[in-house]
Amino acid sequence: EWAMQVLEETFVSEPEGHQPVEVPRLDPKLYSALIIRVERVFREWIRMCGMGEVDQNPHSSLARIIQEIHADGLMSSDLMIASFFRICIDICVIKYHAMTVEAKRSLRPQQPALAIDAFVKLVCSILRLSDPSLPSTKINLARQFLNIVANCALLEAKKHGPSFDSGPFYRILLGTYTGVMRPGDGIDRIRNGVRDDFRKTLQLLRSRLSPGLPSTWLDVLNDLTVPSIQPHPTQM
């Protein structure tokens, strides 16, 4: 049910002003069928991560999952891409909370962020390993991903108020930022653009989260995305 609410309240931001603009909604029946398709693909990617296939053969693993994504038409349009990200984040948040509750109940070690880490690895793999000759496409995809994460966080904060748990969103944003910012793999052409979009996303979250909600995680991410300015030798 929450996944349906998430898509119905989906917003994407315009590149320049970062102002939310409502996008068309999918028919509920189509969206229900889409959830099944996304879950199947995402479950396979989680399995590949858990078995170590992605770490051992990153390029072939990404090619395989992208083939499945395209075969299901999950990236055939901006709305489908947004829906794919929305559903994956929904799965991550639900699993995170379920595993966290289970860990407290059973007092046994759990891995509440397993799905989150797999999702982060998928996003980073797409941005780092896909065609380096299409930097604008990568930046647009990163921007859309960040907008989806931000709006999911805002929906959760609105829904839960003071009990809002920022853990899943903090891990998604932190993991993606550190993963994308690593040097190499043809990422240099989009690094500054992605960093700027991270900064705008944090500004959006900070301005819209209800007063009183914990914001330490935003401070940590903001420190990462704003490069430190080294003093000029004459000023030292």
Judge whether 24 lies within some domain. yes
Asked, for residue 32, whether it belongs to a domain, the answer is yes
- pLDDT value of residue 125: 93
pLDDT of residue 185: 64
Task: Report how far residue 55's alpha carbon sits from residue 62's, in angstroms, rounded to the nearest whole number.
Answer: 10
pLDDT digits (tens, 9 = 90+) for 85-106: 999 999 999 888 887 776 666 6
Cβ atoms of residues 217 and 166 within 8 Å:
yes
Query: In this structure, is residue 48 part of a structural domain?
Result: yes
Asked whether residue 231 is assigned to any structural domain, the reply reads no
Per-residue confidence band for 58, with pLDDT thresholds at 50, 70 and 90: very high
Phi/psi at 25 (nearest 5 deg)?
-95, 145
The answer to the question of residue 154 being in a domain is yes
**pLDDT at residue 187, rounded to an integer:** 77
Beta-bridge partners for 21: 12
- Least confident range from 27-36, 100-109, 219-228: namely 100-109
Which range of residues forms the domain containing residue 110? 2-226
Question: For position 50, which CATH number holds?
Answer: 1.25.40.790
pLDDT tens digits for range 158-179: 888 888 888 899 899 999 998 9
Look up residue 99 and give its two tokens.
Answer: 């595993």
User: How many domains does the chain contain in total?
Assistant: 1
Q: Report yes or no on 233 lying in a domain.
A: no
232 within a domain of the structure (yes/no):
no
From CA 88, how far away is CA 126, in angstroms rounded? 15
C-alpha–C-alpha distance, residues 130 and 124, integer Å: 10
Q: Confirm whether 16 is domain-assigned.
A: yes
Look at residues 6, 162, 179 and name the one whose alpha carbon lies nearest to residue 83: 6
- Residue 121 dihedral angles phi and psi, to the nearest 5°: -65, -35
Supply 36's token pair.
Answer: 């099944």
Q: What residues have CB less than 8 Å from 197, skipping those under 6 apart? A: 139, 142, 143, 146
* Residue of 71 and 20 predicted with greater confidence: 71
